[in-house]
Amino acid sequence: MTAIGIALRYFRNEILVLPTRLIAVLFVLLLIFLPLLTRDMYILRILSIAAIFSIYAASWDLLSGYVGQVNFGHAFFFGVAAYTTALLNLRLGLSPLITIPLGGIASVLVGLLVGIPCLRLKGPYLGLATLAFPIMLTGIIFAFPEFFGGELGISGIARLASSRLNEYYIVVILMLVLCYIMWKITDSKIGIIFHAIREDEIAVRASGINTTKYKLLAFCLSGFFAGIAGGLFTHFLRVAGPPMLAVLMSFQAIIWSIFGGIVTIYGAVVGVFILFPALEFLRAAAEYRMLIFALIVLLVLRFMPQGITAFFRDKLERECPRCKVRNAITRKECRVCFSGMK
């Protein structure tokens, strides 16, 4: 009785008060209960891939949005994990339960590899230098086709789970858990330091914080989450190929995150869940598909340069001028300090 009461009160006092929180909860519930409404394999497949890409895009936001280390080569983490899981599964016959975490760890190591030389670089230099890594790896993959499968990639990898429905639940629940972890990381003390490094690195260093350590930590964390996404994707599609390392793959993470709204984590998820299904449904207009897609991204960012979530959040909610707590736009007075909202 009391547990339900507390839950209900929490729901009323913490979730119902803000429209964006309500939308977030409804979205999570919809994802979890969707298979009750439809068993359409096509829809489940699209949403599963969108969930995997959400982890990937959110991990980009963690590194580039929060810490400000704009990474143009995020596909490197994704691709390294994809190839690691694929090779481990195919050559050693390990199960996805082991290969996916190992892929994540491989990406952490690779994150260190990228992070250490790039620590000295700043701003655009860093971004453009990171672009080099996936391209170099692609060159190596093409140069040794016997081991890496060349242009066709590595196929014949074990399935993630026995049925599409199980795969959907594994992927969606992992996505929710991992994105929640990322969100909590950015909400913690580490997250505050990440914010500060982005805003003024020299000031942070002057406050006695070892920024090098935190920047490397960001590279490793981001690499780990992107790596998990890469491993999941490999086992889901049952193939690991050079497109996972392509320049376009890196750009896609950036497009999704910036479209959704940078420095939010949830923005990346929103971006993927809008743009990825949109791109799929545009298959109806086969020839104009990419054109429409690019135009949508172009126009949305032209008129909402802070991303779609920031734009609509400011339409639905307002910050209390006195205590800085967010309130629904309909409220006349702040829900915490009761001062007028004008």
Partner 1 sequence: MLSDILVHGLMNGAVYAMLAVGFSLIFGAARIINMAHTAFFMLSAYFIFYFGTTLALHPAIAMPLSIIVVVAIGVLVYYVFMEPVREHGTAVLIVTVSLAMVFQELILISFGGHYRGVNSIITGFVSPMGIRISYQYLLTLGVVSLSLVIVWLVLMKTRLGTAIRASAQDREVANLMGMNVAWIAVATMAISVTLASIAGVMVAPLYTLNPHMWLSPLVLVLAIVILGGLGSIKGSFIGALILAFIEVTVVFLMPGGAFLKLAVALAIMLMILVIRPEGLFGVYLEGER
φ/ψ of 333, rounded to 5, equals -130, 155
Binding status of residue 254 toward partner 1 by CB under 8 A: yes
- What CA–CA distance (Å, rounded) separates 133 from 157? 25
Q: Which of 305, 322, 325, 337 binds partner 1 (CB under 8 A)?
A: 305
Binding status of residue 139 toward partner 1 by CB under 8 A: yes
Q: Of 147-206, which residues contact partner 1 (CB under 8 A)?
A: 200-202
- What CA–CA distance (Å, rounded) separates 228 from 97? 11
- What CA–CA distance (Å, rounded) separates 244 from 153? 10
Distance of closest approach, residue 277 Cβ to partner 1, in angstroms: 18
Nearest to partner 1 of 2, 287 (CB atom): 287
Binding status of residue 209 toward partner 1 by CB under 8 A: no
Q: Which of 11, 42, 125, 147 binds partner 1 (CB under 8 A)?
A: 125
Query: What are the start-end ranges of the H helices in the chain?
Result: 2-10, 19-37, 41-60, 75-92, 96-118, 123-130, 132-143, 145-148, 164-187, 189-199, 201-206, 211-237, 247-260, 266-281, 289-303, 308-316
- Name the nearest CA neighbour of 252 among 226, 231, 217: 226
Q: Which of 17, 24, 135, 279 binds partner 1 (CB under 8 A)?
A: 135
Q: Which of 226, 262, 272, 334 binds partner 1 (CB under 8 A)?
A: 262
Binding status of residue 312 toward partner 1 by CB under 8 A: no
Nearest to partner 1 of 47, 270 (CB atom): 270
Q: Of 40-69, which residues contact partner 1 (CB under 8 A)?
A: 64
Looking at beta carbons, which pairs linking 300-304 to residues 24 or more positions away fall under 8 Å?
300/259, 301/258, 301/259
34 CB neighbour count, 10 Å cutoff: 16
Q: Where does this chain touch partner 1 (CB under 8 A) — which range of 124-132, 162-170, 208-216, 225-233?
A: 124-132
Q: Where does this chain touch partner 1 (CB under 8 A) — which range of 5-13, 16-24, 205-213, 245-253?
A: 245-253
Q: Number of residues in contact with partner 1, rule: CB under 8 A?
A: 45
- Name the nearest CA neighbour of 196 among 185, 179, 209, 184: 209
Binding status of residue 266 toward partner 1 by CB under 8 A: no
Distance of closest approach, residue 117 Cβ to partner 1, in angstroms: 5
Binding status of residue 245 toward partner 1 by CB under 8 A: no
Taking phi over 0 as left and psi of -120 to 50 as alpha, with beta for the rest, 158 belongs to beta
- What CA–CA distance (Å, rounded) separates 202 from 200? 6
Q: Of 280-299, which residues contact partner 1 (CB under 8 A)?
A: 287-288, 290-291, 293-295, 297-298
Q: Where does this chain touch partner 1 (CB under 8 A) — which range of 177-185, 243-251, 318-326, 332-340?
A: 243-251
CA-based diameter of the chain, in Å?
A: 70
* Cβ–Cβ under 8 Å, residues 256 and 268: yes
* Cβ–Cβ under 8 Å, residues 203 and 196: yes
Q: Binding residues for partner 1, per CB under 8 A?
A: 64, 70, 117, 120-122, 124-125, 127-129, 131-132, 135-140, 142-143, 200-202, 247-248, 251, 254-255, 258-259, 262, 287-288, 290-291, 293-295, 297-298, 301-302, 305-306
